A = this chain, B = another copy of it.
Amino acid sequence: MYTLAKACSHHNHGHCISDAINSARQLCDERGVRLTSLREQVLELVWQSHKPLGAYTLMDMLAEASTRRVAPPTVYRALDFLLEEGLIHRINSLNAFIGCPSPTQKHQSHFLICQNCSVAVELESQALNQSIIDAAADSGFSVTSHSIEINGLCPSCQASANKESK
Residues of A at the B interface (CB closer than 8 Å) are 3-5, 92-93, 112, 114-115, 121, 123, 125, 127-128, 130-132, 134-136, 138-155, 158
Q: Is the CB of A151 within 8 A of B146?
A: yes
CB-CB under 8 A for A144 and B115, given A135-B128, A149-B92: yes
Q: SS class of chain A's interface: helix, strand, loop or mixed?
A: mixed
Known: A92-B93, A123-B139, A141-B155; 10 extra A-B contacts, CB below 8 A, are A4-B140, A4-B141, A92-B92, A130-B131, A140-B154, A142-B158, A144-B152, A145-B150, A146-B148, A147-B148
Q: Is the CB of B125 within 8 A of A138?
A: yes
Q: Is the CB of B155 within 8 A of A136?
A: no
